[in-house]
Amino acid sequence: MHRLNNKRILVGITGGIAAYKSAEMVRHLIKAGAEVHVIMTSAACEFITPLTMQALSGNIVHTSMLDPKAEAGMGHIELAKWADAVLIAPASADFIARMAAGMGDDLLATMCLVTQAPIYLGPAMNQGMWMDAATQHNCEVLRSRGVTLFGPDKGFQACGDVGPGRMLDPLTLVEMLAEQFSTGALAGRNVVITAGPTQEAIDPVRYISNHSSGKMGFALAKAAAEAGASVRLISGPVHLPTPDRVERIDVTSARDMHAAAMQQTSDSDIFISCAAVADFRPETVAEIKIKKDPDSPNEGMTVSLVRNPDIVASVAAKEDRPFVVGFAAETGNVIEYAKDKRKRKNLDLIVANDVSDTSIGFNSDDNAVTLIGADIEEPLPKCSKRQLAGQLIEMIAQFYSQSQEQQSQAETTQHTEESA
Instruction: Give residue-wise pLDDT tens across range 130-167.
Output: 999 999 999 999 999 999 999 898 777 666 677 788 89
Residues of the chain within CATH 3.40.50.10300 domain(s) are: 190-285+303-415
pLDDT of 382: 82
Interior/surface letters 104-138, b for 16+ CB within 10 angstroms, e for the rest: bebbbbbbbeebebbbbbbbbbbbebbeeeebeeb
pLDDT of 70: 55
Is the backbone of residue 118 left (phi > 0), alpha (psi -120 to 50) or beta?
beta
| 3-class SS of residue 410 | helix
Q: 383 exposed, middle or buried (CB, 10 Å; 0-12, 13-18, 19+)?
A: middle
User: Binding site membership: which residues?
Assistant: 279, 289, 309-312, 327, 341, 345
Q: Is 385:215 a contact under the CB 8 Å cutoff?
A: yes
Which residues, at least 6 apart from 147, have a Cβ–Cβ distance to it below 8 Å? 99, 119, 120, 121
Tell how far CA 197 is from the center of its chain. 22
% of the chain at pLDDT higher than 70: 93
User: Binding site membership for CTP: which residues?
Assistant: 279, 289, 309-312, 327, 341, 345
Instruction: Please give the full DSSP string across 176-236, using - where no structure is assigned.
Output: HHHTTS---TTTT-EEEEEESB--EESSSS-EE-----SHHHHHHHHHHHHTT-EEEEEE-
| 3-class SS of residue 395 | helix
Q: Is 146:112 a contact under the CB 8 Å cutoff?
A: no
The region of weakest confidence among 16-30, 306-320, 358-372 is 358-372
Answer whether residue 398 shows pLDDT above 60: yes
Answer whether residue 376 shows pLDDT above 80: yes
289 vs 420 pLDDT, higher one: 289
pLDDT of 417: 67
For 190-285+303-415, CATH number out of 3.20.20.100, 3.90.76.10, 3.40.50.970, 3.40.50.10300 equals 3.40.50.10300
Is the backbone of residue 160 left (phi > 0), alpha (psi -120 to 50) or beta?
left
Q: How far is CA 105 from CA 49, 64, 89, 90, 387, in A?
A: 21, 10, 19, 18, 37
pLDDT of 88: 97
Tell how far CA 330 is from the center of its chain. 27
159: annotated active-site residue = yes
Return the closest-CA partner of residue 325 out of 371, 271, 374.
271
Q: Is 22:36 a contact under the CB 8 Å cutoff?
A: no
Predicted TM-score of the model (pTM): 0.65
Choice among 45, 112, 159, 274 that is catalytic? 159
- Mean pLDDT across the chain, nearest whole number? 90
End-to-end CA distance of the chain: 41
pLDDT of 386: 81
pLDDT of 68: 62
The region of weakest confidence among 76-85, 144-153, 199-208, 248-257 is 76-85
Q: Pick the most confident of 65-74, 310-319, 372-381, 384-393.
A: 310-319
Place 418 in a pLDDT band, splitting at 50, 70 and 90. Answer: low
| 3-class SS of residue 13 | strand
Q: Pick the most confident of 16-20, 159-163, 225-229.
A: 16-20
For the sheet with 190-195, list strands across it.
246-250, 230-235, 190-195, 270-273, 323-330, 349-354, 366-373, 376-384
Question: What's the whole-number mean pLDDT along residues 203-216?
Answer: 93
Distance, in Å, from the CA atom of 25 to the CA atom of 53, rounded to the nearest integer, reads: 10
**Superfamily (CATH H level) for 2-178:** Flavin prenyltransferase-like (3.40.50.1950)
- Per-residue pLDDT of 23-33, as tens digits, reads 999 999 999 88
Is the backbone of residue 247 left (phi > 0), alpha (psi -120 to 50) or beta?
beta
Tell how far CA 132 is from the center of its chain. 40
Question: What's the whole-number mean pLDDT along residues 292-299?
Answer: 78
pLDDT of 72: 53
Residues of the chain within CATH 3.40.50.1950 domain(s) are: 2-178
Return the HEC string of 36-63: EEEEECCCHHHCCCHHHHHHHHCCCCEC
Place 67 in a pLDDT band, splitting at 50, 70 and 90. Answer: low
Element (H, E) at 148: strand 148-149
Return the closest-CA partner of residue 126 out of 13, 43, 17, 12.
17
Place 74 in a pLDDT band, splitting at 50, 70 and 90. Answer: low
Question: What's the whole-number mean pLDDT along residues 334-359?
Answer: 91
Question: What's the whole-number mean pLDDT along residues 79-92?
Answer: 92
Distance, in Å, from the CA atom of 271 to the CA atom of 249, rounded to the nearest integer, reads: 15
Tell how far CA 420 is from the center of its chain. 47
